């Protein structure tokens, strides 16, 4: 208890107060943190934890009991000391802490039951409820209550002593008038404490006008509204057996009404019973039957009466402050009527009272106001087919109604409409794409086309029939001008049949005269194939259409036919032309123009920017063992940044956005793809002295041949010249025979057998180099060769060439020494000393001497082998050589070789070889 001392003012103190500070005392050592502990009275550490135990430790260090643990109680009973009945209460298991201020069962001073103001002890009630629940029969506590004395609280006793009577209010007595006033003020209700039957009696009294002046009344009791929450599981309104009622006899009903009215409940609040009722003992009520002492057994079984219940929700009097009051209502109602009558100012007829309900007034809506010019008559316009009516009438109808009944009689139905017409009808916007293929054309082309078309349209514009739109416009215009009405109507009449055919003709024209249609030369559809004449006429018509001729139809028809036939055919042609119009025009609007120009002619591919040099060059260089510049390509290459990091190397191209080799976009098929310019001119056909090398394993070093035992420094010099000179030496050393025998196998144009495995690869290379051949032939070959070179390539040509070969071999003297080139170039190879070790070109200029080879061949061979890289030989050289074109003694040998070669290899490079030869020979022979 905190409030034991008044000075505390109700504050609760907890813990030990700080010691007062003394001035002169030296500062104490502060208590270290780990020693700042809280202990309870027993010296146990108090730890703050757990909300359920009030925040402190429970038991002994969160266990139960003491340091020694929990000691169970032992049953001890002796003769001197009888063991009492062990009745364990919850408090037995609580220690001081639990019973303290902050415990779970704090002790405090409360009013005893005797002085409690009507309220029962909460704990006791709860305990009783618990035991009743646990009892075998719910409500078992009844027996306990039966023996309990009836008690009234101290307050009630005091009030009685002061003259208070049950059912009265508390307070000074009031006069009748005041009492009535209060009742009228509707702030309180009458006699809530009065029983239902009693209340009616008192009501009757009050209703009477007799009121002695000096009589005072006790104030009406105010019933506290009982808002006790419903905590049980019984049904609404169920109260169970009332032990009090059972003891003293039920209320007037004679039985315990389980469904008591509120008035009963209020009575029971005071714990009193009603006087004047016959008191009966014993338990009565539902399920109890009638005891032997009871005389009447009529009402054993509860028969509930509906009048006990309210039939209307919230139907109580307004003004009645008593919630839940369900007493008979006559009293209040009459009183209300009276007040109403009194409130009425006018005179009330006798025998009548004021109506409680107001009469409802009917609301009547006025009819709507008619507009001034409304005529209550409706007439229907007749639907007139324009085609069956004179134009004047049609015009009149049109003007009067603003539209025709059948706007486009020619259209037939909606199924005949195309998308454009539907679009017009629906008022939709045109598609965004190019509406026709013309939009896709360049301006110049469009102009050119329109220029082509204009003359024809100009010529035909004279007799041209007006289009239906124009006709319609004319009709409308004629309607305005009454004078011209007749003429224009005539015109419209004349063009009445025209619109359909004419429009279709226009359409066909526009469709077929498009450039895409023109491009579409191969017309596959032949609608009139059975009648060739008709088909021919149709084709003519289409042709005319394609040329944009406006009166193509008339031109293409057969004038000898009858008018009727021509009319039919006209219709058929137009329809067929429309039906099988080129699809491109109908599709053109479905596609949009590409953002990038990726047309067929501009096909680009991503290629690496740096292209490898020509493979032919390299192969030749490899043959000559001239590795180095010729065979090496160096490209820019970007390693990945992370790769550089992993290799512990700085990125050579910091910040470059890509890895690998730089790529560029290039045309897929462009001549420039094949125009790779090499810096170093290549030796075309110098012999590859493979056989020179000693084939048997020996101690002889390769470098011994050159007389200089291999020192690397020498090799560092100029590799090309170096190898070239070596080649020269060896070629001269091995003699012409060796070189000639070696010739075929080392010829660059004829692959050695050893390389057959590489055929695929080489064919690729060949294909790469082939276009350059043609290109440069076109450039370098004289015009006389053009004819032959322009001949188509193909297998047929190959066959031809084979034939030619045969002829040539027979002729024997033909200058077909194509593959001799290497021989020719090697044979005249001068001794090493004579050759300045220079650029390889020199090699090709020098062999002029005894060469038996016709120089043009020579040149062509060079071109063939190395394409554009060789500079064109000077004309003087060619002229010089020409006279020396005499069949040499070696021709036979070469021929043989050629044959052998052809036998050996029928494909591969020979194709090209043969082709070229054939071309060259054609003009010569």
Q: Which residues bind other proteins (CB under 8 A)?
A: 612, 615, 618-619, 621-622, 625, 627-629, 631-640, 642-644, 646-650, 652-653, 659-661, 693, 695, 697-703, 709-710, 712, 715, 719, 754-755, 757-758, 761
DSSP-assigned beta bridge partners for residue 665: 606
Q: How far is the CB of 874 from other proteins (least distance, A)?
A: 31
**Residues with Cβ < 8 Å from 302, sequence gap 6 or more?**
255, 257, 258, 285, 286
Cα(449)–Cα(587) distance, rounded to whole angstroms?
21
In order of 445, 463, 548, the CA distances from 458 in angstroms are 20, 10, 12
- Burial (CB count <10 Å: 0-12, 13-18, 19+), residue 210: exposed
Phi, psi of 800, rounded to the nearest 5 degrees: -55, -45
Which region holds residue 625: left if phi is over 0, alpha if psi is between -120 and 50, else beta?
A: left
Q: How far is the CB of 679 from other proteins (least distance, A)?
A: 15
Q: How far is the CB of 686 from other proteins (least distance, A)?
A: 16
Q: How far is the CB of 831 from other proteins (least distance, A)?
A: 24
Give the three-state DSSP class for 88: coil
- Our CB check for other proteins shows the closer of 603 and 761 to be 761
In the DSSP assignment, the letter for residue 625 is T
Q: How far is the CB of 678 from other proteins (least distance, A)?
A: 13
Look at residues 819, 814, 800, 674 and name the one whose alpha carbon lies nearest to residue 745.
819
- Our CB check for other proteins shows the closer of 70 and 658 to be 658
- Our CB check for other proteins shows the closer of 719 and 736 to be 719
Q: How far is the CB of 745 from other proteins (least distance, A)?
A: 13
**Residues with Cβ < 8 Å from 424, sequence gap 6 or more?**
none
| 623 contacts 684 by C-beta, under 8 angstroms | no
Q: How far is the CB of 646 from other proteins (least distance, A)?
A: 4
- Burial (CB count <10 Å: 0-12, 13-18, 19+), residue 750: buried
- Our CB check for other proteins shows the closer of 578 and 738 to be 738
- Our CB check for other proteins shows the closer of 249 and 748 to be 748
Q: How far is the CB of 682 from other proteins (least distance, A)?
A: 13
Q: Are strands 174-175 and 216-217 parallel, antiparallel or unpaired?
A: antiparallel
Cα(516)–Cα(808) distance, rounded to whole angstroms?
51
- Our CB check for other proteins shows the closer of 632 and 882 to be 632
- Our CB check for other proteins shows the closer of 32 and 707 to be 707
Q: Which residue in the block uniquely carries the two structure tokens 């409308």?
A: 476
Element (H, E) at 517: helix 515-519
Q: How far is the CB of 844 from other proteins (least distance, A)?
A: 22
Q: How many CB atoms lie within 10 A of CB 223?
A: 22
Q: How far is the CB of 638 from other proteins (least distance, A)?
A: 6
Buried (b) or exposed (e) across 795-816, using 16+ Cβ within 10 A?
Answer: eebbebbeebbeebeeeeebbb
HSE, side-chain direction, 13 A CA sphere, residue 681: 17
- Our CB check for other proteins shows the closer of 238 and 637 to be 637
Q: How far is the CB of 634 from other proteins (least distance, A)?
A: 5
Q: How far is the CB of 827 from other proteins (least distance, A)?
A: 26
- Our CB check for other proteins shows the closer of 351 and 697 to be 697
- Our CB check for other proteins shows the closer of 625 and 770 to be 625
- Burial (CB count <10 Å: 0-12, 13-18, 19+), residue 460: middle
| 190 contacts 183 by C-beta, under 8 angstroms | yes
Q: How far is the CB of 577 from other proteins (least distance, A)?
A: 54
Which region holds residue 820: left if phi is over 0, alpha if psi is between -120 and 50, else beta?
A: alpha
Give the three-state DSSP class for 389: coil
Tokens of 871: 């500079």
Q: How far is the CB of 605 from other proteins (least distance, A)?
A: 15
Give the three-state DSSP class for 168: strand
- Our CB check for other proteins shows the closer of 695 and 833 to be 695
What does the H/E/C string look like for 321-368? CCCCCCCCCHHHHHHHHHHHHHHCCCCCCCCCCCCCCCCCCCCCCCCC
Q: How far is the CB of 660 from other proteins (least distance, A)?
A: 7
- Our CB check for other proteins shows the closer of 560 and 754 to be 754
- Our CB check for other proteins shows the closer of 55 and 694 to be 694
- Our CB check for other proteins shows the closer of 354 and 661 to be 661
Q: How far is the CB of 910 from other proteins (least distance, A)?
A: 19
Q: How many CB atoms lie within 10 A of CB 133?
A: 13
| 692 contacts 631 by C-beta, under 8 angstroms | no
DSSP-assigned beta bridge partners for residue 66: 69
Angle at 840 between CA 834 and CA 841, to 5 degrees: 95
Q: How far is the CB of 716 from other proteins (least distance, A)?
A: 8
**Residues with Cβ < 8 Å from 628, sequence gap 6 or more?**
719, 720
- Our CB check for other proteins shows the closer of 361 and 634 to be 634
In order of 150, 167, 255, 438, the CA distances from 273 in angstroms are 11, 11, 14, 113
The number of angstroms, rounded, from the C-alpha of 175 to the middle of its chain's C-alpha atoms is 86
- Our CB check for other proteins shows the closer of 42 and 700 to be 700
Cα(850)–Cα(826) distance, rounded to whole angstroms?
12
Q: How far is the CB of 687 from other proteins (least distance, A)?
A: 17
Cα(584)–Cα(356) distance, rounded to whole angstroms?
90
- Our CB check for other proteins shows the closer of 401 and 693 to be 693
In order of 236, 514, 836, 920, the CA distances from 842 in angstroms are 127, 61, 8, 26
The number of angstroms, rounded, from the C-alpha of 692 to the middle of its chain's C-alpha atoms is 74
* Residues composing the chain: 925
- Our CB check for other proteins shows the closer of 510 and 611 to be 611
């Amino acid at each position: 208890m905190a409030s034991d001392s008044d000075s505390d003012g109700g504050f609760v103190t907890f813990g030990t107060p700080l010691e007062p500070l003394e001035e002169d005392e030296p500062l104490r050592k502060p208590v270290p943190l780990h020693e700042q502990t809280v202990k309870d009275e027993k010296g146990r550490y108090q730890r703050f934890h757990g909300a359920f135990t009030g925040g402190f430790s429970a038991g002994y260090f969160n266990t139960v009991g003491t340091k020694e643990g929990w000691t169970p109680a032992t049953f001890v009973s002796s003769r001197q000391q009888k063991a009492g009945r062990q009745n364990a209460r919850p408090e037995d298991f609580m220690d001081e802490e639990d019973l303290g201020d902050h415990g779970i069962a704090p002790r405090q001073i409360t009013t005893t039951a005797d002085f409690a103001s009507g309220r029962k002890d909460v704990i006791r009630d709860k305990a009783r409820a618990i035991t009743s629940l646990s009892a075998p029969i719910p409500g078992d506590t009844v027996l306990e209550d039966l023996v309990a004395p009836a008690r009234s609280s101290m307050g009630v006793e005091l009030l009685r002593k002061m003259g208070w009577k049950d059912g009265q209010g508390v307070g000074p007595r009031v006069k009748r008038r005041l009492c009535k006033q209060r009742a009228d003020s509707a702030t309180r209700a009458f006699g809530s404490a009065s029983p239902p039957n009693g209340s009616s009696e008192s009501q009757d009294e009050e209703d009477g006008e007799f009121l002695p002046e000096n009589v005072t009344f006790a104030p009406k009791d105010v019933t506290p509204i009982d808002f006790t929450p419903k905590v049980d599981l019984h049904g609404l309104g169920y109260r169970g057996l009332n032990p009090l009622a059972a003891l003293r006899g039920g209320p007037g009903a004679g039985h315990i009404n389980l469904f008591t009215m509120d008035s009963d409940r209020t009575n029971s609040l005071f714990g009193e019973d009603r006087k004047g009722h016959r008191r009966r003992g014993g338990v009565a009520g539902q399920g109890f039957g009638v005891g032997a002492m009871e005389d009447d057994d009529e009402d054993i079984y509860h028969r509930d009466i509906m009048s006990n219940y309210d039939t209307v929700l919230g139907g109580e009097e307004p003004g009645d402050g008593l919630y839940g009051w369900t007493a008979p209502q006559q009293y209040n109602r009459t009183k209300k009527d009276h007040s109403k009558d009194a409130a009425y100012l006018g005179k009330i007829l006798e025998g009548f009272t004021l109506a409680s309900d107001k009469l409802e007034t009917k609301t009547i809506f006025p009819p709507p106001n008619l507009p001034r010019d409304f005529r209550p008559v409706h007439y229907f316009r007749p639907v007139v087919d324009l085609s069956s009516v004179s134009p004047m009438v049609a015009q009149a109808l049109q003007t009067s109604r603003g539209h025709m009944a059948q706007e486009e009689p020619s259209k037939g139905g909606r199924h005949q409409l195309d998308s454009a017409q539907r679009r017009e009808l629906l008022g939709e916007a045109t598609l965004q794409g190019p509406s026709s293929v013309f939009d896709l054309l360049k301006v110049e082309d469009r102009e050119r086309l329109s220029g082509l078309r204009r003359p024809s349209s100009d010529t035909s514009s004279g007799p041209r029939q007006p289009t239906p739109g124009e006709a319609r416009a004319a009709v409308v215009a004629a309607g305005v001008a009454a004078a011209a009405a007749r003429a224009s109507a005539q015109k419209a009449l004349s063009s009445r049949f025209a619109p359909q055919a004419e429009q279709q003709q226009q359409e066909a024209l526009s469709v077929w005269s498009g450039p895409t249609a023109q491009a579409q030369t191969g017309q596959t559809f032949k609608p009139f194939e059975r009648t060739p004449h008709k088909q021919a006429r149709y084709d003519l018509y289409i042709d005319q259409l394609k040329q944009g001729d406006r009166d193509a139809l008339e031109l293409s028809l057969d004038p000898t036919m009858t008018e009727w036939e021509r009319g039919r055919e006209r219709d058929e042609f137009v329809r067929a032309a429309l039906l099988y119009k080129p699809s491109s025009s109908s599709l053109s609007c479905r596609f949009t123009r590409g953002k990038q120009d990726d047309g067929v002619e501009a096909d680009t591919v991503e290629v690496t920017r740096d292209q490898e040099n020509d493979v032919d060059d390299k192969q030749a260089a490899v043959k000559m063992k001239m590795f180095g510049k010729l065979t090496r390509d160096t490209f820019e290459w970007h390693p990945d940044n992370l790769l550089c990091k992993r290799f512990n190397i700085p990125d050579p191209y910091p910040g470059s956005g890509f890895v690998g080799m730089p790529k560029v976009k290039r045309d897929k098929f462009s001549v420039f793809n094949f125009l790779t310019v090499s810096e170093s001119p290549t030796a075309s056909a110098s012999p590859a002295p493979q056989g020179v090398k000693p084939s048997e394993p020996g101690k002889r070093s390769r470098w011994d041949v050159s007389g200089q035992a291999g020192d690397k420094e020498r090799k560092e010099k100029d590799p090309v010249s170096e190898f070239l000179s070596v080649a020269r030496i060896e070629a001269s050393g091995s003699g012409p025979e060796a070189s000639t025998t070696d010739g075929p196998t080392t010829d660059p144009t004829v692959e050695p057998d050893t390389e057959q495995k590489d055929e695929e690869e080489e064919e690729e290379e060949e294909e790469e180099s082939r276009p350059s051949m043609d290109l440069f032939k076109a450039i370098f070959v004289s015009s006389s060769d053009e004819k032959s070179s322009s001949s188509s390539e193909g297998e047929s040509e190959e066959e031809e060439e084979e034939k030619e070969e045969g002829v040539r071999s027979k002729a024997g003297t033909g200058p077909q020494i194509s593959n001799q080139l290497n021989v020719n170039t090697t044979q005249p190879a001068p001794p090493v000393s004579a050759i300045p070790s220079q650029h390889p070109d020199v090699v090709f200029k020098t062999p002029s001497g005894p060469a038996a080879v016709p120089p043009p061949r020579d040149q062509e061979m060079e071109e063939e082998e190395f394409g554009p890289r060789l500079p064109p030989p000077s004309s003087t050289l060619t002229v010089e050589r020409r006279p020396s074109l005499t069949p040499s003694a070696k021709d036979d040998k070469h021929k043989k070789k050629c044959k052998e070669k052809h036998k050996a290899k029928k494909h591969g490079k020979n194709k090209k070889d043969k082709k070229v030869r054939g071309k060259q020979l054609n003009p010569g022979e």
